[in-house]
Amino acid sequence: MNMKKINSLLIICLIIWVNSITHIYADTNKDNKTHNILLINSYDIDNEWENQVKIGLKESIKDNLNFNIKKEYLDIRNNDNKNYIRDFEQFLNTKYRNNEFDMIITVDDEAFNLVRSNLFNENSIFYKKVIVFAGVNETINLTSQEKEYVTGFVDGKSKIELIKLITNLQPDVKNINVLLDNTNYSKDIKTKLQENGYFLDENINLNFIQGKYEEDIINRLKNMDENNSALLVCGVFKDKDSENYINPEELLNNIKDIKNVPIYTSREDYIGKGVVGGYVDMGREYGRALGKMVLKIYEDKSISQVPLISKLNSNYVVDYHKIYDYNINPVNLPKETIIINKKSYELLLPVGQKIAVIIIIILILISILYIIMMMLKHRKNNIKNRNLYQIAKDREQLKTDFIANMSHELRTPLNIIRSASTLLELKANNNEKVDNEYILDKAQRINQNSDRLIRLINNLIDITKFDSGFYEYKCKNENIVYVVEDIVFATVDYANEKNLEIIFDTDAEEIITNIDKEKIERVILNLLSNAIKFTNENGKIEVYIKHDEKFVYITIKDNGIGIPKEKVDHIFHRFYQVDSILSRKNEGSGIGLCIVDEIIKMHGGKVKIKSEENEGSTFEVRLDIADDNHFEKDEMEDKTDINIKDVVKVEMADI
Ligand code: ADP
């Protein structure tokens, strides 16, 4: 057996054990005897109220009593005549001749009357039995002898609550039409309403419309005046053709088809089916109370301690939707009214107040939304301001750094120039003999540092031109391979000075681009001079050109010191240098790459950088290939060559 099976077996055992324990516990509350009860309903199996009573009764006794309930239906509405009742008595006597009931429960008047009349009849199964009745509407006067056997609930003497409900909800009502059937229940209501007539406003008419068939009732309603009227349905009615009872919903709909008046009821079965509301005995509640009485009788083993209860609390019940259908002011609802069909979020308020509440809620929501939006806007502004502040601060810092940097950049070559010329001047003043080499060395220093100053000033002028939009460039078709190759060859000497290997390779001999040659030369030269500057001795610099249909890619790759990850993104920013002025090993202003970026952007191209600290850097310049291949070789090539040398000399002055 696997673990799964053992587990389920254990769970089943546990369930059985828990079940048996609860059973034992429950049984301790019950006596072991089974009590036989005969429940006689006055009406038929379809009577909803009587059915609800039965459900409530069973609910309240099932945990405390072993019982066996036999049910019978007198069906008085269909057979209201003496012969039938006598036959029914005989039927019960025959059927239950051998049954020993220890209690008879009757529901509604007719069943009680039948049992009561046989209480002292030795030949009846009801002879001196304990009788508990429910739903008896009449004022009954039990004899002292009867009181030894009989107890139960009688209905209240008044039905005025029904009228009170109607006049509360419809203060201007003038006619209340009461629909009654032919049962004792209906008769009782009629009598009580008539007896309580003095409670009524003298302007209110009570009209009783009594009948067995729906058709008759509807016909009489046709003449009813709709204005200031209300209907009170207290009976159930039959269809004339089929002799079947019309169900509550159908009856109410048929009434509504001909008259639009608020309908009220005294019967639970009409509640929620289209009536505004009513004052009703809730069958289930009634049954539960009845159950409690039954238990008390069994507990005391006598009924002497269990007096008649004259009135069970009925309930005002009102349908939420109908309140608004008929423009009823909910403020007028009697206290403790049960509201049905109301969702928990719905408000029981007069229409005006309801609209006001909705408007207030909407206004509150709008205000909350507005506040949230303002807060978000404020936050966004704060962030924006903080960012602007940070940018301004960074700019300020950059400016300060730039001034410090520039002072250094300007002063260093100037100092060198000045000291070299001072030395020469000193020698001349002292009439010292100086050899050629000495003069050449000083002149070279003066020239190199002048170049550095020229480069710096050129860069500054360019930047200013970019800013003011006056940077001029003239494009024409050029073979980019030559342009790059010339620059690479012009820098070889400088690379060799640092023992750097320079490799140049291309995937084509001729790739035509529409460029300003001088500007692109500056770009390549700047990238190359950086590569030479930031690559240690014996390093390697590779320059590759490759192309596809649309673009040419110029890659300048070194295995130098590289750039820390967090600084790569800033490298094209103006005046940005990876090392601060104090810790710098190489000279420079931090403008070069910014100019590179601007020039390439001007050409519609892109510069990309990949760099790893201590591994090296790779710059890739992407340019568009020219639309037409037309290209004229420059006749002044040699002259350009001389120019390049000068340009390279100036650019390399830092190294
Ligand atoms: P500079 O004129 O100071 O060289 P650039 O704008 O050309 O200014 O370069 C900015 C900074 O970027 C340099 O100071 C250097 O720190 C870094 N840098 C540029 N190229 C390289 C490279 N090939 N290897 C390492 N660092 C580089």
DSSP per-residue letters across 344-403:
TT---S-HHHHHHHHHHHHHHHHHHHHHHHHHHHHHHHHHHHHHHHHHHHHHHHHHHHHH
Residues with CB under 6 A from ligand 1: 526, 530-531, 534, 558, 560-563, 571, 576-579, 588-594, 617
3-state DSSP of 568-592: HCCCCCCCCCCCCCCCCCCCCCCCH
In percent, how much of the chain has pLDDT > 90?
56
- Render pLDDT for 63-83 as a digit per residue (tens, 0 to 9): 888 889 999 999 988 887 899
Q: How many residues does the chain have?
A: 655
The number of the ligand 1 atom at minimal distance from the alpha carbon of 556 is 23
Question: 13 vs 17, 21, 26, 489, 644, CA distance in Å?
Answer: 6, 12, 20, 94, 99
The number of the ligand 1 atom at minimal distance from the alpha carbon of 578 is 16
For helices 592-602 and 436-468, give the axis angle rounded to 10 degrees: 50
Query: What would the mean pLDDT of 319-341 be, rounded to a whole number?
Result: 90
pLDDT for the residue 389: 94
Query: What would the mean pLDDT of 540-556 be, rounded to a whole number?
Result: 97
Question: Which string of b and e fits 61-84 if b means at least 16 CB within 10 Å?
Answer: beebbebebeebbbbbbeeeeeee
| pLDDT reading at 568 higher than 80 | yes
Using most ligand atoms within 8 A of CB, pick from 577, 582, 586, 598 the residue to mutate for ligand 1: 577
The number of the ligand 1 atom at minimal distance from the alpha carbon of 558 is 23
Give residue for tokens 């199996």: 45
pLDDT for the residue 24: 42
3-state DSSP of 246-286: CCHHHHHHHHHHHCCCCEEECCHHHCCCCCCEEEECCHHHH
Query: What would the mean pLDDT of 612-638 be, rounded to a whole number?
Result: 84
Alpha carbon nearest to ligand 1 atom 13, residue: 577
Alpha carbon nearest to ligand 1 atom 19, residue: 530
pLDDT for the residue 21: 46
CB atoms within 10 A of CB 644: 19
Alpha carbon nearest to ligand 1 atom 7, residue: 592
Task: Measure the CA–CA gap between 270 and 319, rounded to whole angstroms.
Answer: 11
| pLDDT reading at 432 higher than 80 | yes
| pLDDT reading at 609 higher than 90 | yes
Alpha carbon nearest to ligand 1 atom 8, residue: 590
pLDDT for the residue 22: 44
Alpha carbon nearest to ligand 1 atom 23, residue: 531
Q: How far is CA 347 from the centre of its chain?
A: 23
- Render pLDDT for 4-39 as a digit per residue (tens, 0 to 9): 666 666 666 555 554 544 444 444 445 678 889 999
- The conformational region for residue 510 under phi > 0 = left, psi -120 to 50 = alpha, else beta, is beta
| pLDDT reading at 248 higher than 70 | yes
Task: Measure the CA–CA gap between 132 and 116, rounded to whole angstroms.
Answer: 10
- Render pLDDT for 453-497 as a digit per residue (tens, 0 to 9): 998 898 888 888 888 888 888 999 999 999 999 999 999 999 999
For helices 109-117 and 82-95, give the axis angle rounded to 10 degrees: 70
CB atoms within 10 A of CB 211: 18
- For the chain, give the mean pLDDT: 87
Quote the ligand 1 centre to 115 CA distance (angstroms): 115
CB atoms within 10 A of CB 391: 10
Quote the ligand 1 centre to 577 CA distance (angstroms): 6
The number of the ligand 1 atom at minimal distance from the alpha carbon of 561 is 25
Instruction: Note whether 488 and 504 are within 8 A (CB).
Output: yes
Quote the ligand 1 centre to 393 CA distance (angstroms): 23
pLDDT for the residue 27: 43
- What is the phi/psi pair of residue 223, to 5°? -85, -5
Quote the ligand 1 centre to 530 CA distance (angstroms): 6
| pLDDT reading at 640 higher than 90 | no
The number of the ligand 1 atom at minimal distance from the alpha carbon of 590 is 8
Alpha carbon nearest to ligand 1 atom 11, residue: 577
Task: Measure the CA–CA gap between 53 and 50, rounded to whole angstroms.
Answer: 5
Quote the ligand 1 centre to 591 CA distance (angstroms): 9
Most confident of 146-155, 181-190, 415-424: 415-424
Instruction: Note whether 274 and 262 are within 8 A (CB).
Output: no
Give residue for tokens 């008896």: 136
Query: Regarding predicted confidence, which is higher, 562 or 629?
Result: 562
The number of the ligand 1 atom at minimal distance from the alpha carbon of 572 is 6
Quote the ligand 1 centre to 389 CA distance (angstroms): 27
pLDDT grade for 443, boundaries at 50, 70 and 90 = very high
Quote the ligand 1 centre to 124 CA distance (angstroms): 121
Query: What would the mean pLDDT of 111-136 be, rounded to a whole number?
Result: 93
> pTM of the prediction?
0.53
Return all residues near 82 (Cβ < 8 A) that are at least 6 apart: none
